[in-house]
Amino acid sequence: MLISSDLRILDSRPPGSPRRIRPLALRLLSLLGAAALLLLPALRAAEFRAGAAAVNVTPNLGTAVNGGVGPGRALHVHDDLFAKALVLDDGQTRLAWVVVDTCLVDREVFDAAKRLVVQHTGIPASHQMMSATHTHSAGAVTGAHLCEPDPTYRAWLPDRLADAVRVAVNRLAPAQIGWTSGSVPQHVFCRRLLIRPGMTYTNQLGFTGERAKMNWDSPHPADGEPSAPVDPELFVVSVQTAEGKPLAVLANYSLHYVGDVGPGHISADYFGVFADRLQQLLGADRQDPPFVALLSNGTSGDVNNVNPRERRAPQPAYTQIRRVAFDVADEALRVLEGLRHRRDVALSATTTEVRVITRRPTPTEIEQARQRVGGRSVAQLSGWLDNYARDTLLLADYPEALPVTLQVFRVGELAVAAWPGEIFASTGLELKRRSPVQPLFNIGLANGWYGYIPPPEQHALGAYETWRARTAPLDVDATVKLVDAFLGMLAGSR
Ligand SMILES: [Zn+2]
């Protein structure tokens, strides 16, 4: 309409004069050119772009390492730790993922990093999804069990997380994206086992009567069936340059970690080996800017790499890490082959806060804990009983409810749900099944950490992840509330 009326204005020859086809065609061309010039900024802004970066977050030797009941210390660096960022931009909206090689990151540290990202890049906090891989051989950032973080490392990390995003933003370039999923069932096992009927089992706290046990002492005569399913899915988001070269991969697998590292070693566990191996398989070595592979943790609170029925022969450190990482990378490569990449995807983000009741100790439990701790400092405490007594005192000061952040990213039809804790596979599978948006994958340990968040039926069975502590502070029906909230967010994000 606009063009034809403009043509009438341009074609100002007197009525009846001979038609001058060539000049009119030229005018038409110049007009289209002008229109294209006017539209160019909009077209340019609508271009899909991506950038990725990895910055080193290896701590100094001597830094506290969490993961076990007591504190570990970094004695050697086997392989470096990284904070990795992937930034996507559809011309309207920018999304940033950060996946950092560490065990746990609480909300305070992630929020501090997000504020820095807002300040330097303008990407709102709601559009930043930050998560920990859950490697158990990294600098402690958040207190858990009897391990408190090194304050210097904790204070340093937010800048590094923000730097990863800033570098990724600096590298934003025309890109294309695709996603797909595969399955790696041979490396995921439910680590919670039902106690075999008729057997009596005494747990690590000296109590009998629970209906589930951990696989820590497996194979064990009391080992029954796994208490819940595992999620073997490997989800893979692939980002390529406009020319089709690998730019970044964001993968997601629901395995706690592998852990056969050397004593006192700093290592990114299989998360790091996967990234290195995939880069090799994709022929993406030594690119400029470098290819970045991020492996995020899914819902693996009750899933680890140990087959409870198998007594493993001793093997050199890192053997199993390499085996798992290579298998996961092989599967990623298999599903990436022939994957269609697109530029026409719209991005969006939704964040909400849900208040979840905390499980606080009774006055009697507090008094018993006080007697056990007896005024000793954390350095003087050891073992499970001391740990739970101290955590009982810490939980006595918790608020009645905690604000838990839930987040959903949309990349075209794809949804990514971020959970701030160690979520069980069955809960992740439930959200995958019930989500009105498909496909969906879950990232755990994201945007904060509220310990293990088992579903009510697993609370009823008991065992480690249900024992009230900083590692499991939330109410027994927390996942019901969180799944409902996610379903509402997903329905609204369509
Ligand atoms: Zn864990």
CA angle, 149 as apex, 146 and 152 as ends, to 5°? 160
Q: For residue 126, what are the CA distances in angstroms to 68, 149, 353, 465?
A: 32, 27, 11, 29
Distance 305 CA to ligand 1 centre (A): 12
Q: How far away, in angstroms, is 197 Cα from ligand 1 center?
A: 28
End-to-end CA distance of the chain: 33
- Ligand 1 centroid to residue 277 C-alpha, Å: 25
In this predicted structure, the answer to whether residue 9 has a pLDDT above a threshold of 80 is: no
Q: How far is the CA of 487 from the centre of ligand 1 (A)?
A: 25
CA–CA distance, 269 with 271 (Å, rounded to integer): 5
Mean pLDDT of the chain, nearest integer:
92
Ligand 1: centre distance to CA 66 (Å): 10
Neighbour-count burial for 404-435, b at 16+ CB within 10 Å, e otherwise: bbbbbbbbeebbbbbbbbbbbbbbbbbbbeeb
Q: Are strands 82-89 and 246-253 parallel, antiparallel or unpaired?
A: unpaired
Torsions phi, psi for 72 (to 5 deg): -100, 170
Q: Report the pLDDT value the prediction gives residue 67, as an integer from 0 to 100.
A: 74
Query: 304 CA distance to ligand 1 centroid (A)?
Result: 9
Please say if the pLDDT value at position 25 is more than 90: no
Q: What spacing in Å lies between the alpha carbon of 466 and ligand 1's midpoint?
A: 12
Beta carbons within 10 angstroms of residue 276's beta carbon: 15
What DSSP designation does 337 have?
T
How far, in Å, from the CA of 472 to the mean position of ligand 1? 11
| Residue with token string 């960022």 | 85
The closest alpha carbon to 231, from 446, 5, 430, belongs to 430
> Where along the chain do its domains lie?
49-189+225-354+398-492, 190-224, 361-395
Please give the distance, rounded to the nearest whole angstrom, from the Cα atom of residue 110 to the centre of ligand 1.
18
303 CA → ligand 1 middle, Å? 9
Distance from Cα 104 to the centre of ligand 1, integer Å:
8
Between the CA of 310 and the centroid of ligand 1 the distance, in Å, is 22
Residue 457: alpha-carbon gap to chain centroid? 25
Q: How far apart are CA 348 and CA 492, in angstroms?
A: 11
Dump pLDDT digits (tens) for 93-144.
999 999 999 999 999 999 999 999 999 999 999 999 999 999 999 999 999 9
Residues 181-193 as b/e (b if ≥16 CB within 10 A, e otherwise) read bbebeebbbbbbb
Ion ligand 1 — residues with CB under 5 Å?
Answer: 422
Compute, in angstroms, the gap from residue 40 CA to the centroid of ligand 1. Answer: 50
At residue 30, the pLDDT reads 56
Query: How close is the Cα of 463 to the center of ligand 1, in Å?
Result: 14
From the list 278, 281, 280, 230, the residue with the least C-alpha distance to 251 is 278
pLDDT band at 63 (very low <50, low <70, confident <90, very high): very high
Q: How far is the CA of 179 from the centre of ligand 1 (A)?
A: 27
Confidence band, pLDDT 50/70/90 cuts, at residue 68: confident
* Two structure tokens written together for 454: 């088992």
Tell me how far the alpha carbon of residue 67 lies from the centroid of ligand 1, in angstroms: 7
pTM: 0.90
How far is ligand 1, taken at its centre, from the CA of residue 355, in Å? 22
Question: How far is residue 418's CA from residue 407's CA, in Å, rounded to a whole number?
Answer: 5
pLDDT digits 0-9 by tens, 38-48 = 554 444 447 99
Distance CA 29, CA 124 (A): 42
Q: What is the pLDDT of residue 16?
A: 41
Compute CA distances 235 → 76, 178, 181, 203, 418, whole Å: 32, 11, 4, 36, 14
Report the 3 state secondary structure along 448-487. Answer: CCCCEECCHHHHHHCCHHHCCECCECECCCHHHHHHHHHH
Confidence of residue 31 (pLDDT cuts 50, 70, 90): low
pLDDT for position 270: 98
The answer on pLDDT for 18 being more than 70 is no
73 vs 136: CA distance, rounded Å: 12
CB 463 within 8 A of CB 337: no
Contacts of 382-391 with C-beta under 8 Å, sequence gap 24+, read: 382/70, 382/146, 383/69, 383/70, 384/69, 384/204, 384/205, 385/205, 385/206, 386/146, 387/69, 387/145, 387/146, 387/469, 388/205, 388/467, 388/468, 388/469, 390/146, 391/468, 391/469, 391/470, 391/471
How many Å lie between the centroid of ligand 1 and the Cα of residue 421?
Answer: 9
103 C-alpha to ligand 1 centroid (Å): 7
Instruction: State the pLDDT confidence band at 34, using cuts at 50, 70 and 90.
Output: low
Cα–Cα distance, 165 to 187 (Å, whole number): 31
Distance 273 CA to ligand 1 centre (A): 20
Question: Ligand 1 centroid vs 465 CA: distance in angstroms?
Answer: 9
DSSP state of 125: G
pLDDT reading at 408 higher than 80: yes
Tell me, in angstroms, the distance from the centre of ligand 1 to residue 420's CA.
12
* Ligand 1 centroid from CA 422, angstroms: 6
Tokens 């080992």 correspond to what residue? 223
**Phi, psi angle pair for 227, to nearest 5°:** -80, -15
CA 362 to chain centre: 34
Q: Are strands 128-132 and 94-100 parallel, antiparallel or unpaired?
A: parallel
Find the mean pLDDT for residues 159-185.
Answer: 98
How close is the Cα of 256 to the center of ligand 1, in Å?
6
